[in-house]
Amino acid sequence: MKGLSCNSGLLHTYSVEESIDILADQGYQAIDISLELAPPFIPPPKPHMDSSADAGRRRAVRDYARSAGIAIGALNAHTNVIHGDPEVRRQNTEFVRGGLQLASDMEVPYVISGCGVKLFYGWESTYWEWCIEAMRELTADAERLGVMILIEAASPYGSLVHNLARLQRLLDTDGLEGLGVLFDPAHYHVRGDSVLDAYHALGDRVKHMHAKDARGNSENFGFPPLGEGEIDFANLIKTMVNGGFSGYISIEYEAMAWGYPDEPLQVLADGKAFVDGILERS
């Protein structure tokens, strides 16, 4: 394990430089910088960067993080590459492509994304065709740029790749051998998978992890603060570390969508104490 990171969406009221300083002060080792415009909760956090940033801005953020002793673990670039409107679908694919170039320029190893949501009537096979077409293009770009796309299974209603079986189907597709995995246990739990079984099944394709708790099922679920849900993080993190997991564990907090406090500094302190406690006991 490399250390502890945080999805910068939690720190959306701060600039990216302020977020980096906060994480350094809190004893974190990395930051995941959000590029996303429309996550599935309200109010949507403002992204910290986008692919329109010029070369000077890219270097400045990269160098600022280095000077603070904070690695940039990943860029978050979720979007909908299976949107029913061809022009929107193209724009969304270009959004991820821009994130790949941004990651390459800033020397960030991973861009986290997904396949998206089925918003319109249509055959399941058509959505899979769109997904695979986009991912083949993007994987080729990523390999050329020296970056890896990490796919996150997403549990919300309508998500194409929402559980272990569907993620394995994508990963086993010809031409997508270069895809990695962002492992967020909350989504597997909500969709009825065993979190430990999913982690073991995905093996060394897991490069990065979101520490996010969950309770319920796909029709009625919540992502409460760490330790207040139904996931056995002690067993999961122990299994990951003892098995040689070499990525970051990244705190991702979306509990405010269910009425929990939106208090970033407290969430960071609590999240670090939660993970550190498990590591000490393990």
- Which band of pLDDT confidence, cut at 50, 70 and 90, is reported for residue 38? low
pLDDT at 87 (0 to 100): 97
pTM of the model: 0.96
Q: How many residues would you count in the chain?
A: 282
CA distances for 149 relative to 56, 236, 277, angstroms: 24, 23, 31
| pLDDT beyond 90 at 100 | yes
d(C-alpha 268, C-alpha 24), whole Å: 11
Average pLDDT for residues 76-80, to the nearest whole number? Answer: 96
Residue for token digits 């492509």?
A: 97
DSSP H helices in the chain: 16-25, 55-68, 86-106, 124-145, 164-171, 185-190, 195-202, 233-242, 264-281
pLDDT at 36 (0 to 100): 83
Q: What is the pLDDT of residues 164-196, one digit of tens each?
A: 999 999 999 999 999 999 999 999 999 999 999
Extents of the domains making up the chain: 3-281
CATH architecture of 3-281: Alpha-Beta Barrel (3.20)
pLDDT at 211 (0 to 100): 98
Q: Tokens standing for 195?
A: 């979190």
Q: What is the pLDDT of residues 245-259, one digit of tens each?
A: 999 999 999 999 999
**How much is the mean pLDDT over the chain?**
96
Average pLDDT for residues 118-146, to the nearest whole number? Answer: 97
- Which band of pLDDT confidence, cut at 50, 70 and 90, is reported for residue 45? confident
